[in-house]
Structures are given as structure tokens and as C-alpha cells.
Chains A and B, each alone.
Chain A
Amino acid sequence: MRQLDRKAEREIAELLRRNLSSPTASASSASAQALRAAYLARAPHIHWAAVQSPVGRLHLAASERGLLRVAFESDRQRFLAELDPRAHLQHNGAYIEAALEQVQDYFKRPAEPFELKLDLAALTSFQRRVLASIRAIPTGEVWSYADVAAAIGKPRAARAVGQALGSNPIPIVIPCHRVVASDGGLGGYSGGLDRKRYLLQHEGAR
């Protein structure tokens, strides 16, 4: 096929740019509004908040199903970047109110149990079982990884239990800090061992 020379190509392209019709501003704005409504109807809604605590600034996030994240992350942007990118985010919305209040209370009265709905939909069923079992550890007590493995009926799975605890998205509220090594050592903690030590002392654990 014969090619247009560059000059002719530029000429026709320029003609197009200047004369080809576009949608009106009102059509464009109506479409933007309709799209926003459709997005809000479809997207998960996540409410989030930040709170100062004795273990540093915490960020919390919850969906309508319940609390889904407590992060030892002081940087807001980094925290928000790890939430579902499709979600519509709202600062200090209604979903997060109860969690915010109870987490603040915990640092004053650690024996008061958390009464919160949790959203663990993003986890595997094994992780959910492990995390459900450690919610039964009373304040002031600690279990070993082997105890947790036994509690879920998988006594040989202590290592997998350790991994599941390491990826606990809701530390403090799901008290993975109450699980320690069987030799009496602290074991690990996603928030760092200083925080783990503080939380155990705060709860009066020996």
C-alpha cells in the first residue's frame, strides 16, 4: 500500500484534532457520576483510623464484616497501600469505631476482652483455625507453638502454626503475642520483640 508522506500525514492528523467531534462536558460529567455510583455500589468499603499507643502509632482497618487489620505501621501511605486496591476507603468511618475504642481501652485495662467482629475472609482456612484457637488464650497466660498445634488437632504442625501466627493481620486483638517458644524464649513477633515483651508485661504474664 502506498504510504502518505509525513507532511500529508501531519496535515490530516491536525485536521482531525481540530474538527473531530467530542462528547459534551455535560455528557462526560453525567458518565463520570454514573460510573462513580456503580463503583460505590460494587466496591468493598473499608474504614480506617490511626491511634497512638504505648507501642507506637497503630493503624486499623475494618470492612462491614468486621475488623480486618491492625498494623504496627506508622506511615499512613504505606498502610493504605497494603489494603485491597479496589476498596473505597473512608477515614474514621462507622465500621472502625468500636475497634478503635476497644484497642484504646486495652492499653488501659488489658483484662477486658475484645468483643469485635473480625473479617478474616482473605485468609486460608488453616490460618483461620490457628487464629481462632489462640483467641481462647486468657489474658496473662501464654501458650507454646506446640500447645496451639495440639489445640487445633495437628500436634506435629508447630512450624506451620508459627507461620500462620506470623501472618496474623490483626495482632493485639488476635493475641498472637501470647504464643511463645516452648523453652521459655519469646519466639518471634511481626511487630518486633520489644512490642511483644511490652504486651506480655502489660497483661501480667510471667
Chain B
Amino acid sequence: MNTPDGLQPETGNPESIAWRALYSLVLIFLAFLIVMFHLFKLTFS
């Protein structure tokens, strides 16, 4: 199991596009979860 393409060990640079994309994905996933939890509550309450 290696790191995804573009995330080579020597490129620990926060400016790289691959890392920025990955950070954005984590935050988008969090927003998605919060919306889902809210809808879950509204649907069954």
C-alpha cells in the first residue's frame, strides 16, 4: 500500500496541488457527513 500518485515522500510540500486536493476532500467529506447527519435527524424525528 503506497501513497496516492503525486504524494511522493520527498515532496512534503504543503503547496503541492495533490496535497491541497486531499485536504479539500477531507473537509468536503466532513461537510457531507454533517449534512447527512442533519437530514438523518430531520427524516426520523
Q: Do A and B come from one complex?
A: no
